[in-house]
Structure 1
Amino acid sequence: MTDTAPIPAGSPCWVDLSSSDPEASKAFYGELLGWTFETGSEEFGGYITAFLEGKQVAGLMQSQEGAPANVWSVYLGVSDIEATNEAVTANGGTIALPPMTVGDLGAMGFVIDPSGGFVGEWQFGKHVGFEALDVPGAPAWFELHTRNYAAALPFYQKAFGWTTQVMGDTDEFRYSVLAVDEVQRAGVMDSDSFLPEGVPSNWIVYFNVADADAAVETIQRLGGAVLRGPEDTPYGRLASVSDSTGAMFSLLQHTS
């Protein structure tokens, strides 16, 4: 869907990449997803915005010393970041980055959920998030892979106001989705049994592609790697991959 309506509070509203080599990342995603880029002023740290056919879809920045590098971050939209942070700490989360104002664009912060998942917050100003969603080249889905599903799910319900639907509740597949106005916007997966040793709970962004197999070939040619798939699932043809700097993400090809 191309989503030009306001993104509901609590829903994923933005993603950005902290890259050790922004120029390499621009070349990679420009070819893979058809993005063009615009670099902001020094006032905003030279933050790079990615566009798909003129619509903003993601951000890119130089990783900072001492901060995670080559990782995608997911941001949840909030109407009041200070009130949200009070709810975060009241429900077992911690504040990783206190709120900071970004000019007239909005305010940002990062929190850690009780399962260890690192997620961003964005209080809307002039920057209202994605201008396109779930079309080829745009973000399509957002998923928390958690090592403590029993703690993570109620945290997002209480801290971010999520209304969730249970999609599966067995040891083999335990999964719930955030649903707003009957639109599914994100998922939480019980991943403790399959996350590699030492890998914490983490958010994954899926990008829509018209052809997952062709996208995988392009990724390999551009110096990325295929971690899993492509494979057919009830939700489409999926693949887990990494870019030329090692940043992990997933691909989603819708199938009939």
Structure 2
Amino acid sequence: MLTTDYVPGTPNWIDLGATDTDAAVAFYSAVFGWTFRSAGPEAGGYGFFQLDGRTVGAIGPLTEEGATPSWTVYFHTADADATARAVVAAGGAVRMEPGDVFTAGRMAAFTDPTGADFGVWQPRENPGLQAVMEPDTLCWTELYTTDDAAAREFYRTVFSWSYQDMPMGGGPVYGIVSSPGGGQGEDTGQGGVMQLQKEHLDAGSVSEWHPYFGVTDCDATFEMATELGARVQIRPMDVPRVGRIAGLQDPWGAPFALIQGNPTMS
């Protein structure tokens, strides 16, 4: 399960790149009850989503040429520069070289060999998200990939991840991700990796990471989001041993998902 006791390879930050940050703040505030706190005038419009005074994510304007609205998942690293070298050696690409974010920490952004974007956060004054595994906070991360085998090998090499295979009722095998030293007790799952199926590939789906936000009522939150302009990817559905999930794109196209239940599949 996700925790805020971060170790290398575990998710420790998420942020949303938006074309209209004010409108996106209004949308997510209505859906999840978040508030927004600016990181200051020197931060270029970047700021923090908060719930009860605790940081649960962040948002900023898109800065990369050709970028589209999306959530980025960041993983803890003790050395962003060493991780960048490992990414390149394993066949990935560096989108943003490691750099200091004032005194908060050091970050970098990458693309895995299958095309999925992700980042790393090396904490200094800011250790990462202050709340996870609660309603309206990050509860799971999931990679949909065009090449399951290549993705698994890449992240195994870069982060030393291990995978527990879980068949999905005749569909693709779902790989539950764990990091060395992550989780609590035997419950070390932090996310999943799934092969995109032919119909999705034929429809143009690409590799991408999705954040899952915990909710107390998946159907009600889904209804609220769609009323506010979110587009449907997966209607609310029950997943055995997991709970009830739904997939959405926010009104500007950034994918995210909802989960009511236990995302660790334990």
2:204 to 176, 198, 202: 198
2:253 to 214, 227, 246: 246
- How far apart are 1:67 and its partner, in Å? 4.2
1:176–1:109 distance in 2 versus 1, CA, 3 Å: same
1:220 to 215, 226, 245: 226
Per the alignment, residue 49 of structure 1 pairs with 48
Residue 248 of structure 2 aligns with an amino acid whose one-letter code is: V
1:144–1:194 distance in 2 versus 1, CA, 3 Å: farther
Q: Using the TM superposition, name which of 27-36 and 192-201 deviates more.
A: 192-201
Pairwise CA RMSD of aligned residues? Answer: 1.9
The alignment partner of 1:25 has SS state of helix
Per the alignment, residue 184 of structure 1 pairs with 189
Per the alignment, residue 102 of structure 1 pairs with 101
- Structure 2: gaps spanning 5 or more residues: none
Cα-to-partner distance string for 1:159-199 (whole Å, 9 max, x where unaligned): 11212222239972222122234321111111143434333
Contact 1:146 1:192 in 2 (8 A): no
Q: What is the distance in 2 between the residues matched to 1:130 and 1:176?
A: 24
The alignment partner of 1:185 has SS state of strand
Q: Using the TM superposition, name which of 246-255 and 64-73 deviates more.
A: 64-73
Per the alignment, residue 127 of structure 1 pairs with 126
- Structure 1: gaps spanning 5 or more residues: none
Contact 1:91 1:158 in 2 (8 A): yes
- How far apart are 1:69 and its partner, in Å? 2.7
- How far apart are 1:153 and its partner, in Å? 0.1
Per the alignment, residue 78 of structure 2 pairs with 79
Cα-to-partner distance string for 1:219-238 (whole Å, 9 max, x where unaligned): 12212222221001121101
Per the alignment, residue 158 of structure 1 pairs with 157
Residue 252 of structure 1 aligns with an amino acid whose one-letter code is: I
The alignment partner of 2:82 has SS state of helix
Cα-to-partner distance string for 1:117-169 (whole Å, 9 max, x where unaligned): 11111111111111111211101110010101111101101111212222239
Contact 1:57 1:138 in 2 (8 A): yes
The alignment partner of 2:167 has SS state of strand
Q: Using the TM superposition, name which of 238-247 and 207-216 deviates more.
A: 238-247
Contact 2:2 2:11 in 1 (8 A): no
- How far apart are 1:82 and its partner, in Å? 1.1
Contact 1:44 1:102 in 2 (8 A): no
Are 2:57 and 1:58 equivalent residues in the alignment?
yes
The alignment partner of 2:108 has SS state of strand
Contact 1:93 1:113 in 2 (8 A): yes
Q: What is the distance in 1 between the residues matched to 2:72 and 2:147?
A: 19
Q: Equivalent pairs: percent with the same residue?
A: 36
Q: What is the distance in 2 between the residues matched to 1:116 and 1:65?
A: 16
Q: Using the TM superposition, name which of 102-111 and 196-205 deviates more.
A: 196-205
Q: What is the distance in 1 between the residues matched to 2:113 and 2:258?
A: 27
What is the aligned length? 254
Contact 2:9 2:75 in 1 (8 A): yes
The alignment partner of 1:13 has SS state of strand
Per the alignment, residue 88 of structure 1 pairs with 87
TM-score calculated relative to the size of structure 2: 0.89
